Chain A
Amino acid sequence: MWAWFHKLSSPKYYYEWAGKWLPWLAGITVILMVVGLYWGLVVAPTDYQQGESYRIIYIHVPSAWMSMFVYVVMAVAGFVALVWKTKISEIVVSECAVIGAMFTALALITGMLWGKPTWGTYWTWDARLTSELILLFLYFGVIALYSSIEDKRVAAKAASMLAVVGVVNIPIIHFSVTWWNSLHQPNMDIISENPSMDPSMLWPLLVMATAFKIYFVWLLFIRIRNEIISRERTTNWVRKLIAES
């Protein structure tokens, strides 16, 4: 097991290994997305309180989950990069930052589009939206730091450090924002997602959430492979690879 991890941290091996997975990941993502979309948009019943607009949660909730999940992945990779100095985990940090920022932005946009028909306004300072907004800032910080340092290995280490600091802070930020929110808008939480969802509505959500997760891995693998080629462009194996294709 340990030996396998060690092998995986070599860029060449990782490149080939991830390459084998790509078609499978693509296939599973597409199938799950199609199933989830059909189920969520057509099969699932209309919500008696919110009407059709509740269907936005099938992308809003998975995006929001992913926005946090990706941050944790990024921070764990950052920690590994700082302690064991493996090249692949450094790349994972910078690529996760971009993908995570996308999911966070999606969660915000879909959240706002859900808010208009539900609350009558695009933006409210509710705890969830505010936390997502701050999370987006944290992602932007990592991306900005990474792109302003020229030496990409140093940049990746700095970004890793920031990701680790961020992940320690996120629970504190989330707690403070929730607390702040309860202070100012005590009645806002009633119309958030129902904790006891009907199974006919819950299943499509779980399918979509899985689809998003697989999609993330797929996109991450593609981006990591690109970054490996870019960084290792002077090595023999990359040259051979390019010459052969």
Chain B
Amino acid sequence: MRTEEVSVLRAHDLKCVKGSTELFSNIHFQIESGEALVVEGSNGSGKTSLLRILCGFNYPAEGEISWCGKTIDGHEDYQQQISYIGHASGVKLDLTVLENLVFAQRLVGSDRDETEIKDIIRSVGLFKQRNVLTRKLSAGQKRRVALARLQLEERKLWVLDEPLTALDKEFVTDFENVLKKHLEDDGMLVVTTHRELLLPDSLTKKINLSA
């Protein structure tokens, strides 16, 4: 699924307006395969909006985003390169952990057998709870289901909105390793976080929306 070519995600002069207030403007950045972008900014500075614009869910008031030189507007393949985890993590509360992941991977179109899925569930530490309804899990555990989905989908660009919320310390370290592995595999990452996230400096760009 991953290609050898270098992919480039580029944002040019983005501006976002919500209602009559301007959240941010003049946002430029560019990341290539194997690079990460950390989006910083105070509450309400438009971090979530920026990520949603990147995913093509919202439109910027001005500016343009391009993927490998082509604008993402009407460029359907682009959305199939993305794994997105927002504030709501896209986990169905009335399905078990295993069911959630099985359905998610089928909708994504990847075809792994159940042992592989179970391996991933084990790696996020939910193996014992694999047949428990997600509704009954704690907030942190629900978040882990979403992070397991990330690894399952094998998409090139990961767009993560506060992925560390409610996660305990040990798991954060594990998760950092997953992210590093993703970057090593030529993946790309756009992430917002309030907590420290250790990523290799040489590969990480930062952007602050409050500035």
Contact = CB atoms under 8 A, between A and B. Distances in A.
Nearest to B18: A151
B20 interface: yes
A150 B18 CA distance: 10
Task: Say whether chain A's binding surface is mostly helix, strand, loop, or mixed.
Answer: loop
Nearest to B19: A151
B59 A231 contact: no
B59 to A, nearest CB: 7
A234 B20 contact: yes
A152 interface: yes
B57 to A, nearest CB: 12
Contacts of B20: 231, 233-234
Contacts, number: 10
A150 B59 contact: no
Nearest to A233: B20
A121 B17 CA distance: 54
Nearest to A152: B19
Contacts of B18: 151
Nearest to B17: A153
Nearest to B21: A234
Contact of A85 (B17, B19, B22, B59): B59
Interface in B129-177: none
Interface string A214-245: 00000000000000000101100000000000
A230 to B, nearest CB: 9
Interface in B17-38: 17-20, 22
Contacts of A231: 20
Contacts of A233: 20
A85 B20 CA distance: 17
Interface string B59-74: 1000000000000000
A90 to B, nearest CB: 13
Contacts of A153: 17
B64 to A, nearest CB: 13
10 contacts: A85-B59, A150-B19, A151-B18, A151-B19, A152-B19, A153-B17, A231-B20, A233-B20, A234-B20, A234-B22
Given A85-B59, A151-B19, 8 more contacts: A150-B19, A151-B18, A152-B19, A153-B17, A231-B20, A233-B20, A234-B20, A234-B22
